[in-house]
Amino acid sequence: MKTRFILNPSSGRNRLRPWLPGMIRNFIQVQGLEAELAVTEGPGHATALARAAIAAGCTQVVAVGGDGTMNEVAQALRHTPAELGLVPCGSGNGLALHLGLPLSLAQALALTASPTARVTTIDTGEANGKPFFNAMGIGLDAVVSDRFNRLTHRGLPVYARTVLGVIRELRPERVVISDGAAAEELEVLLVAVANSDQYGNHARIAPGARVDDGALDLVAIRPVGLVGAVSLAVRLFAGNLHRSPGVRRFRGDRLIIERVGPGLLHTDGETHAAGARIEVRVQPRSLRVRVPARSRVTTPSPDWAPAGFALQLP
């Protein structure tokens, strides 16, 4: 199996790992893999490198970085027979945790060459045409992501402080949410649309959500004070956020969010300017991912390939 590792040296913990490129090259050599390492040089570069890898005949492209790197690499792999490998090195690693991937660097690398690994196909999403694979959001979600991405130090404690700081400043906004059959107007602090069940760090924004069910889960959280925010945080990590009276949940393959005016939107933690109307769609079973044999995702990878591709299974 021809493999290309794509390393983002600026992702999360990778900033403190100047030895990582050497480790990956040594891993390739010791395992006797038909593989190469490519290193990103800036935003968007991982997508270009992944496309080049597919053009070169790679059947596995491995993202070595955080959720942003995963997003960029996966963009190029959607609707192709190439499979995504993940070596999670970010602050949250939401999709990796949902799929049951190892967070240990050595174990994650080993999975990319493991004969016992399997390939599954997962759904992906689009928000106004921007792909996401774990979660997208507006409101608190997007503002926190924007500020967090500007910080030099990351981690859960820093993220929690950022969230509390934004809650003190952020004003709620009115939105209309539609699932195609009905519409509801709400005043919200944030709206998140999840493919997996969590943001990362086991913070389950959409308990019970799955990446292989052909639907996306929308979670709208009404305004809360600091005391309410603490209560929601407890529920977030306890996995019962949906039971809070301040939370509304919708589910479907096409969801529309309309707000008063334009603002920020995040996709897998990366922020973008977006208009007042946001249309979110699911792309069922559109990405092949390498997972451990005991991954929670049970949907097998089908023997299919889009027109113009020859399917090459490992």
Residue 69's pLDDT is: 95
- 3-state DSSP call for residue 227? helix
Name the more confident of 62 and 306: 62
Residue 314's pLDDT is: 27
**DSSP letters of 276-295?**
SEEEEEEEEEEEEEEE-TT-
Residue 305's pLDDT is: 35
Question: 130-282: same fold as 3-124+286-291?
Answer: no
Strand partners, 86: 63
> What are the Cα distances from residue 273, in Å, to 107, 146, 232, 264?
37, 11, 27, 5
CATH architecture of 130-282: Sandwich (2.60)
Name the more confident of 291 and 150: 291
Residues marked as catalytic: 270
**Which CATH number does 3-124+286-291 carry?**
3.40.50.10330
pLDDT band at 14 (very low <50, low <70, confident <90, very high): confident
pLDDT digits (tens, 9 = 90+) for 82-140: 999 999 998 889 999 999 999 999 999 999 999 999 999 999 999 999 999 999 999 88
Residue 158's pLDDT is: 66
Q: Is residue 1 predicted with pLDDT exceeding 80?
A: yes
Number of C-beta neighbours around residue 227 at 10 A: 8
**What is the distance in angstroms between the CA of the first residue and the CA of the last residue of the chain?**
6
pLDDT band at 12 (very low <50, low <70, confident <90, very high): confident
User: Mean pLDDT over residues 284-296, rounded?
Assistant: 91
Residue 146's pLDDT is: 77
Residue 207's pLDDT is: 93
Q: What is the pTM of this model?
A: 0.88
User: Mean pLDDT over residues 134-163, rounded?
Assistant: 76
pLDDT band at 282 (very low <50, low <70, confident <90, very high): very high
- 3-state DSSP call for residue 271? strand
- CB of 257 within 8 A of CB of 186? no
Q: Cβ contacts of residue 122 below 8 Å, gap of 6+?
A: 99, 133, 195, 211, 212, 285, 286, 287, 289, 297, 299
229 Rama sector, left if φ>0, alpha if ψ -120 to 50, beta otherwise: alpha
Name the more confident of 32 and 232: 32
Residue ranges covered by each domain of the chain? 3-124+286-291, 130-282
> What are the Cα distances from residue 71, in Å, to 19, 95, 179?
24, 10, 25
Residue 301's pLDDT is: 47
pLDDT digits (tens, 9 = 90+) for 227-268: 777 888 889 889 999 888 889 999 999 999 999 999 999 999
- 3-state DSSP call for residue 209? coil
